[in-house]
């Protein structure tokens, strides 16, 4: 935890080359985040600028921002259409690039209590490898499917987009394919390697999600990234693309792999649930749930803990029969196929000296089971068939 003495960040901005000194004033704050390797920039009227460092919000040694400051800093970065969206909807998501693609930020600018606030996530321009992210080995296996649906689940800020970017770039380096991404906003920009990568930003390159998804299957893609399966339409588009022979990646807000099934069903009325279960059983390839944890390894700020559920015959049967409560047991007995539950993932991170035991126990779905695993005792799995 931060103490009162280390909450403030010296606000001396990094030195900027002369040719960049005419860039927007707000860039000085974004560059502060880059300099300190923070993950997020927070701006709110009545408080000084803030950034998140190693998971903790810390304030810069600057004066509190006024509404006039916010408008002066942010309005020059918006197009007239973006300003109109902000006025009519109360918020807007967009990408913001520093310099010549020097660093990219995912920005959410919104109104609260009638005043402007901003939260922006720093996205590194270099797409990290599986090894750099400390992802489990079985992630690589998921990149070799020809068709089907792969879902990354987790809360906001859990690193889902980074993991998917790493998976897509792994394919990009090895396969001669067409990769099409539909995002709001674009976070990572890809360089064409063996694959051709086209990236469409909703509301910038295409007017809305429905149009982008309608066009997608007509653009001869082998792989489609649907940035976020946020509603019934985006999920149906993703599952339809998987049914027609594409490999589809998508993200969803859910805390575990098994609970993702319920989260998807919540998008649909109850009378459609049997049909959705059938569609999932025969098109879903895997669900990867992810959480980000503070690391104790020097030079590594945060590492992911993952739960990986692959759809084998046992999992498929449980999904069809609506026996979702048995899915955690199916994951535990599927370790030989590359499946992984959070308990085993946390145990590996502790054994690899990436996180400490206190952190592992704090986030473990079953702390007692993890304590037993620390002692080398594995919990037996009851029969699930």
DSSP 204-268: TTBS-HHHHHHHHTTS--SEEEES---SHHHHHHHHHHHHTT-EEEEEE--SSHHHHHHHHHTTS
Please, are residues 169 and 192 in contact by the beta-carbon 8 Å criterion? Answer: no
- Domain map (residue ranges) of the chain: 4-123, 130-374
Q: How confident is the model at residue 254 (pLDDT cuts 50, 70, 90)?
A: very high
Q: What is the mean pLDDT of residues 204-208?
A: 86
Q: What is the mean pLDDT of residues 199-226?
A: 91
Residue with tokens 């010549």: 100
pLDDT in tens, 11-56: 655 555 555 457 899 999 999 999 998 989 999 999 999 999 878 9
CA distance 24 to 30: 10
Q: What is the mean pLDDT of residues 216-242?
A: 92
CA distance 302 to 314: 34
CA distance 385 to 383: 6
**Considering the chain, what is the average pLDDT of its residues?**
91
Query: Can you give the pLDDT at residue 207?
Result: 86
**Which residues have CB under 8 Å from 232's CB, separation 6+?**
267, 268
CATH of 4-123 among 3.40.50.300, 3.30.450.90, 1.10.1270.20, 1.20.120.80: 3.30.450.90
Q: How confident is the model at residue 1 (pLDDT cuts 50, 70, 90)?
A: very low
Query: Can you give the pLDDT at residue 2?
Result: 45
Q: Supply the DSSP string of 266-303, one letter for each residue.
A: TTS-GGGHHHHHHHHHHHEEEEEEEEEEE--STT--EE
Cα radius of gyration (the chain): 22
pLDDT in tens, 113-164: 999 999 999 887 689 999 999 999 999 999 999 999 999 999 988 999 999 9
Please, are residues 83 and 74 in contact by the beta-carbon 8 Å criterion? Answer: no
pLDDT in tens, 326-344: 999 999 999 999 999 999 9
Question: pTM value?
Answer: 0.79
Question: How deeply is 249 buried, as exposed, middle or buried, from its count of CB atoms within 10 A (0-12, 13-18, 19+)?
Answer: buried
Query: Can you give the pLDDT at residue 187?
Result: 81
pLDDT in tens, 86-111: 999 999 988 898 887 788 898 999 99
Mode of pairing for the β-strands spanning 91-98 and 40-44 = unpaired
Mode of pairing for the β-strands spanning 115-123 and 103-112 = antiparallel
Q: Is the CATH number 3.40.50.300 carried by domain 130-374?
A: yes
Residue with tokens 């048995």: 326
CA distance 266 to 101: 39
């Amino acid at each position: 935890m931060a103490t009162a003495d280390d909450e403030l960040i010296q606000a001396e901005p990094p030195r900027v080359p002369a040719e960049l000194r005419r860039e927007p004033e707000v860039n000085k704050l974004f560059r502060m985040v880059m300099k300190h390797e923070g993950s997020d920039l927070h701006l709110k009227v009545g408080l000084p600028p803030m950034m998140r460092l190693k998971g903790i919000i810390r304030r810069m040694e600057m004066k509190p921002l006024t509404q006039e400051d916010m408008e002066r800093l942010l309005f020059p970065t918006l197009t007239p259409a973006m300003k109109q969206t902000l006025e009519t909807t109360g918020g807007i998501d967009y990408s913001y690039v520093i310099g010549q693609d020097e660093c990219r930020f995912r920005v959410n600018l919104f109104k609260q209590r009638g005043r402007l606030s901003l939260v922006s996530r720093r996205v590194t321009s270099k797409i990290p490898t599986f090894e750099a992210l400390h992802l489990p080995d079985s992630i690589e296996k998921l990149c070799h499917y020809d068709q089907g649906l792969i879902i990354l689940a987790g809360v906001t800020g859990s690193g889902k987009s980074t993991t998917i970017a790493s998976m897509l770039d792994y394919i990009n380096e090895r396969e001669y394919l067409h990769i099409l991404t539909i995002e709001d906003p674009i976070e990572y920009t890809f360089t064409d390697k063996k694959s051709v990568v086209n990236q469409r930003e909703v509301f910038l390159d295409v007017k809305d999600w429905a149009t982008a998804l309608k066009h997608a299957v007509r653009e001869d893609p082998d792989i489609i990234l649907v940035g976020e399966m946020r509603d019934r339409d985006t999920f149906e588009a993703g599952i339809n693309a998987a049914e027609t022979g594409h490999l589809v990646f998508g993200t969803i807000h859910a805390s575990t792999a098994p609970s993702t099934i319920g989260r998807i069903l919540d998008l649909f009325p109850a009378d459609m649930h049997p049909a959705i279960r059938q569609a999932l059983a025969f098109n879903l390839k895997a669900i990867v749930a992810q959480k980000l944890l503070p690391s104790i390894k020097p030079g590594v700020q945060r590492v992911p803990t993952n739960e990986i559920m692959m759809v084998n015959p046992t999992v498929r049967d449980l999904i069809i029969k609506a026996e979702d409560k048995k899915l955690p047991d199916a994951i535990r007995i599927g370790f030989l196929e590359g499946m992984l539950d959070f308990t085993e993932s946390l145990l590996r991170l502790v054994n690899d000296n990436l996180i400490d035991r206190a952190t592992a126990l704090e986030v473990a779905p079953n702390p007692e089971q993890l304590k037993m695993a620390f002692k080398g005792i594995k919990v037996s799995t009851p029969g699930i068939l």
